[in-house]
Amino acid sequence: MPATIADNSVGIVATQISHFTEALTLECGKTLNEYDIAYETYGELNASASNAILICHALSGDQHAAGYNSQDDKKPGWWDSAIGPGKVIDTRQFFVVCINNLGGCKGSSGPNTINPETGKFWGPDFPIVTVKDWVKCQHRFMSSLNISRWCAVIGGSLGGMQVIQWTIDYPDLLKHAIVIAAAAKLSAQNIAFNEVARQSIMSDPDFCDGHYLEKNTVPRRGLMLARMLGHITYLSDDAMRDKFGRELREGKLNFGFDVDFQVESYLRYQGRSFVDRFDANTYLLMTKTLDYFDPAGDYGDDLALAFKQASARFLVISFTTDWRFAPQRSHEIVKSLLQAEKQVSYIEVEATHGHDAFLIPIPHYMNVFGSHMKIIAGELC
């Protein structure tokens, strides 16, 4: 239980589920005839419905972005540092919406839910979903809340990719786009890391070709490895040095294969705890979603052309030690936006934390992001 819930917390919040019965055709060609979307909202929609913000989550995120789901929750939502009354995304001014993307594992239709057409777990048969599919789905969801235009769409990492896709696919339906620690497409190295993560999961005998839930098992080892590997790419070399250095867990080398260094202990812990909260098939799907993201692909690999119709005002943020999606990747986005003559602000934040920085309330980051949000709030009618 949270010792006390701070005044600037959104407090206790409940995930809600919306059921959609209008068929959704996905990029892969498959159709979901019906599906659920789990979501949370914070703050109040104003009378003109002009203050709605969509938060897009990253690979291992979900709809629970802020506050606590119960008095027993030990940790708040994944972006609680930025969302709440008086925080950067101020819930006294904005109506904040966060949905668990299709294919997720926290209540939206995905591999760990029941396929209504078979009565069995979707498992590996859940279709591959793309960022374009998600944005299409979020667009439908938006109507269900009677929101006709987002005041802003905001996201970090894979979340930032959804923001980019929004500005291209529904240019008139968002006023502001905030793209944090993202990239316009994955590099071969990014894909390579994802592939090792997938092979870790898929080669685990308990994966059972993806049908592990039916067999009442879980590919724990594979998912743990995938998460350990992911964690290395989320932290900078500097952050790891500052956090662990070569510190020994027991003060001496053990000349065996147990943990010697603190960093090993940390990674094993991160890996193990992830297994208890995430679904392996969802992890596989999300990595493919990342690999497939390539909004310029439809525009002859010309990102500036892809942005041509965009009308949102952009804020792009990167972090100096992020090597998963390095500042150079944000530069590509900014350059294309400038080439397309769009309105864009760009901030490169000095941070030692690597890719994880986007989740951390680093003062300079919060100040710049906060000032920008105040301007957006000032425009509300």
Question: Annotated catalytic sites, by residue?
Answer: 157, 322, 355
Q: Which stretch binds a copy of itself (CB under 8 A): 136-144, 150-158, 202-210, 363-371?
A: 202-210
173 sits near a copy of itself (criterion: CB under 8 A): no
What the block records as the tokens of 327 is 């500042």
φ, ψ for residue 283 (rounded to 5)? -60, -45
For residues 219 and 198, the answer to whether their CB atoms sit within 8 Å is no
- The distance of closest approach from Cβ of residue 366 to a copy of itself in the complex, given in angstroms and rounded to an integer, is 27
| Dihedral pair phi/psi, residue 213, rounded to 5° | -65, -40
Sole binder of a copy of itself in the list 4, 21, 75, 257 (CB under 8 A): 257
Q: Is 276 among the residues that bind a copy of itself (CB under 8 A)?
A: no
Question: Would you mind telling me the total number of residues written for the chain in this entry?
Answer: 381
Phi, psi (degrees; rounded to nearest 5) at 123: 50, -135
Looking at the Cβ atoms of 51 and 336, the one nearer to a copy of itself is 336
What's the distance, CA 76 to chain centroid? Answer: 16
CA–CA distance from 265 to each of 10, 243, 252, 381 (Å)? 34, 12, 14, 52
- Residue written as token pair 């294919």: 103
How open is the CA angle 307-100-207, to the nearest 5 degrees?
110
Among 5, 45, 202, 366, binds a copy of itself (CB under 8 A): 202
| The two three-digit tokens of residue 105, written as one number | 């594992």
Q: Site size for a copy of itself, by CB under 8 A?
A: 54
Judged by CB under 8 A, does residue 6 bind a copy of itself? Answer: no
Q: Is the dihedral of CA 307, 312, 317, 322 positive or negative?
A: negative
Q: Which residues does 145 contact at the CB level (< 8 Å), separation at least 6?
A: 41, 45, 52, 97
Site track for a copy of itself across 12-51, x = CB under 8 A: ---------------xxx----------------------
Beta carbon of residue 364, minimum distance to a copy of itself (angstroms, whole number): 24
**Nearest residue (CB) to a copy of itself, 94 versus 325:** 325
| Residue 193 touches a copy of itself, criterion: CB under 8 A | yes
Binding to a copy of itself (CB under 8 A) within 211-250 occurs at 221, 224-225, 228-229, 231-232, 235, 237, 240-241, 243-246
Q: 57, 136, 185, 342: which one contacts a copy of itself (CB under 8 A)? A: 185
Name the residue nearer to a copy of itself (CB basis): 256 or 363. Answer: 256
DSSP state, residue 163: H
Would you tell me how many other CB atoms lie within 10 Å of the CB of residue 269?
A: 13
User: Which positions lie near a copy of itself, rule CB under 8 A?
Assistant: 27-29, 124, 127-128, 185-189, 191-193, 195-196, 198-200, 202-205, 221, 224-225, 228-229, 231-232, 235, 237, 240-241, 243-246, 253, 255-257, 260-261, 263-264, 267-268, 271, 284, 288, 291-292, 294
